Amino acid sequence: MSNLFPVTLEDATLRRAGKTLVGPVNLELQAKGVTIVIGPNGAGKTSLLRMMHGIARLGEGSIHWACPPEEARVHQAFVFQQPIMMRRSVLGNLAYPLRLTGQSRSEARDRATRAAIEVGLGDMLERPATYLSGGERQKLALARALVTQPELLFLDEPCASLDGRATREIEEILTRAAAAGTRLIMSTHDMGQARRLATEVLFLLNGNIHEHSSAETFFGGTPSPQAQAFLNGDIVE
Ligand SMILES: Nc1ncnc2c1ncn2[C@@H]1O[C@H](COP(=O)(O)OP(=O)(O)OP(=O)(O)O)[C@@H](O)[C@H]1O
């Protein structure tokens, strides 16, 4: 069970160059589940995730975690659409964050090896991360994010440029992480993926949350008219 939740956003707003990218957002997220963030291009999905994680500095309003903010920071991780790899082996990429938390070289190596096996990279331990395929890189990025056992994991379209097989494998890893208690907040353009993973949905329009509902309500036929239009593939503005 997470110590970070509930998290409450009060009029949280992100601005850049005089433009409001997202907000004011008022939202409370509970400790359990998989929150899928969807909406048209430019609706503010990435901006919302970055603002919540703290990579993008809040302009106005506030974000309250159930624990001190420094603690909340330590217990969360972020996976980007384009994974950033260190110029090290698969094992080196996975061991590095563990070394930063103070684990000994051999502890970090053992844990990193298990983490690689868990995501199906067990036979590539010594391969330079820069030699990996797109799907393998994203699995490594996920393993690296999960290896320190975060309570909350943000993911920004992690399967955007992956084929069906890699997408399925990533979804299996995410499903296992969620079952093991990691709270997931993830944006996607793939409505099939949203249906497969979501327990609740945040539907964004024009930088704001237009709808926050359970996956059952959202996909079960009773979303708002704009959300229904989006699900139908209509252009929504
Ligand atoms: N650093 C920035 N400076 C100025 N404008 C930005 C910046 N980052 C994003 N934007 C703008 O903010 C809006 C929201 O962008 P964001 O990437 O959050 O949307 P999104 O829903 O994730 O879009 P997509 O589905 O296309 O990835 C867009 O109009 C975008 O052009």
pLDDT tens profile 52-62:
999 999 999 99
Which whole number is the average pLDDT over 228-234?
88
CATH homologous superfamily, domain 7-47+57-85+132-232: P-loop containing nucleotide triphosphate hydrolases (3.40.50.300)
Query: What residue segments make up the domains of the chain, in order of their start?
Result: 7-47+57-85+132-232
Round the average pLDDT of the chain to a whole number and report it.
93
Question: Does position 1 have pLDDT exceeding 50, yes or no?
Answer: no
Which whole number is the average pLDDT over 186-204?
97
pLDDT classification of 2: cutoffs 50, 70, 90: low
**Mutate which of 41, 47, 52 to test ligand 1's pocket (most atoms within 8 Å of Cβ)?**
47
Quote the pLDDT of residue 85: 87
Which pairs count as long-range contacts for 228-235, CB under 8 Å and 24+ apart, including other chains? Answer: 230/38, 230/39, 230/40, 230/203, 231/191, 235/40
**Mutate which of 14, 21, 209 to test ligand 1's pocket (most atoms within 8 Å of Cβ)?**
21
**pTM of structure:** 0.95
Half-sphere exposure of 230 (CA within 13 A, CB side): 24
Which whole number is the average pLDDT over 29-35?
94
Instruction: Enter the ipTM.
Output: 0.96
23 CA → ligand 1 middle, Å: 13
